[in-house]
Amino acid sequence: MSKPLVLLTHPLPEAWIAALEDKVRLVVGEEGFASFSPQLEAYLPEAAGILSLLTAKVDKELLVRAPHLRVVSNMAVGVDNVDVVACTKQRIPVGHTPDVLTDATADLTMAILLSAARRLPESARDAKEGRWGTWSPTGWLGADLRGAQLGIIGMGKIGQAVAERAHGFGIRLAYTNPAKIESDAAHLPLEELLKTSDFVSLHCPLKESTRGLIGEKELKMMKKTAILVNAARGPVVDSDALLCALKEGWIASAALDVTDPEPLPASNPLYDLPNCLIVPHIGSATHGARRRMAEIACENLLAGLAGEKLPHCFNSEIYA
Ligand code: DGY
């Protein structure tokens, strides 16, 4: 029997996808394409499986061009790049990679939060560029952590892992979530969380209800001394409003692991602001996390091809 054809949207280290060897006919997209390369698209009519990265758009139009598709396996916990509703209608399981990136993403969140709070990018640049005159009692003053309030928007696994770390710094915790969870943190409505928090950290998934969740109105509610951290998805924050907020001092600073769009072009004015720290979506970028994400994506893919239930299925209602 011929092996099923699988499209891998971007090259991955061989060791990470060793499980696919001998089991599938793999066609790999070229480096440098955010989504499907034209060379890869040509194989859609024959594809039985797709192993996608979070930048690859798997939408309705693409599904029409892939009539034999049996599984979409996304190497990410978020699946906002996939039209899950369309996949569900066609009973195509969508795999994702929860849990294995929780610690890495929570660590990175704390790293950029601390970096912004203690003004590391600005002070490091000043030291390097000769503006370190003498030890200055009033120079590069940052935010105190102990006793400050961190408001977490989206208290899922990553939000809770951030809370656990922040607790170790003596930070008080509040959160906004559709459902109350078992936690010592205060469960607050969004408005109250924004008004009372010294740091606000976003960890909700991107969906219609969270797109633009933090816009002008919300940024104006925040404390002028507040720091906004986004480790969720760029479009959860209105970028134009954020630019005004940072320029005009509605809030003190922002630390962004994700932006809208991605990649954020080097000409984007947010880069010019001393109070905006931007890193290129590296929340899960540790050796261990990325390798496990790829391995789980392979497990999901192989299960889908075999007609078995995916170990980590986002639309598991298709099995009901
Ligand atoms: C995910 O898996 O959704 C993360 O954003 C990757 O870093």
Q: Which of 284, 291, 292 to mutate to test the pocket of ligand 1 (most atoms within 8 A of CB)?
A: 284
pLDDT band of residue 188 (cuts 50, 70, 90) is very high
CA of 291 to the centre of ligand 1 (A): 13
CA of 117 to the centre of ligand 1 (A): 24
Q: Which residues line ligand 1 (CB under 6 A)?
A: 54, 76-78, 101, 281, 283-284
Q: Is the link from the previous residue into 263 a cis peptide, with omega within 30 of 0?
A: yes
pLDDT band of residue 32 (cuts 50, 70, 90) is confident
Nearest ligand 1 atom to the CA of 96 is: 2
Total structural domains in the chain?
2
Q: Which amino acid is at 81?
A: N
Same domain, 87 and 224: no
Query: pLDDT per residue over 155-180, tens digit each?
Result: 999 999 999 999 999 999 999 999 99
Nearest ligand 1 atom to the CA of 75 is: 2
Give the whole-angstrom CA distance, residue 199 versus residue 252.
10
Extract the tokens encoding 317: 């209602």
Name which residue sits closest to atom 7 of ligand 1, judged by CA: 284
Same domain, 242 and 299: no
Nearest to 74 by CA among 84, 65, 66: 84
Question: Percentage of the chain surpassing pLDDT 90?
Answer: 98
Mean pLDDT of the residues in the chain: 97
Task: Give the ranges where 51-179 is alpha helix by DSSP (H).
Answer: 60-64, 84-89, 102-117, 120-128, 157-168
The whole-number average pLDDT for the span 77-84 is 98
Sheet containing strand 199-202, edge to edge, reads 186-187, 172-176, 149-153, 199-202, 227-230, 253-256, 276-278
1 has pLDDT over 80: no
The whole-number average pLDDT for the span 15-24 is 97
Q: Domain span at residue 12?
A: 5-100+287-319
Same domain, 128 and 263: yes
122 has pLDDT over 80: yes
Extract the tokens encoding 259: 């932006």
Same domain, 274 and 172: yes
Give the whole-angstrom CA distance, residue 278 versus residue 206.
19
Q: Diameter of the chain by CA atoms?
A: 74
Active site residues: 233, 262, 281
6 has pLDDT over 80: yes
pLDDT in the model for residue 116: 98
> Which residues have CB under 8 Å from 191's CB, separation 6+?
221
The gap from C-alpha 190 to its chain's centroid, in whole angstroms, comes to 20
Same domain, 138 and 200: yes
CA of 16 to the centre of ligand 1 (A): 17
Same domain, 247 and 160: yes
> Which residues have CB under 8 Å from 16's CB, separation 6+?
290, 291, 294, 295, 298
The CATH number that applies at residue 225 is 3.40.50.720
CA of 230 to the centre of ligand 1 (A): 12
pLDDT in the model for residue 143: 98
Nearest ligand 1 atom to the CA of 79 is: 3
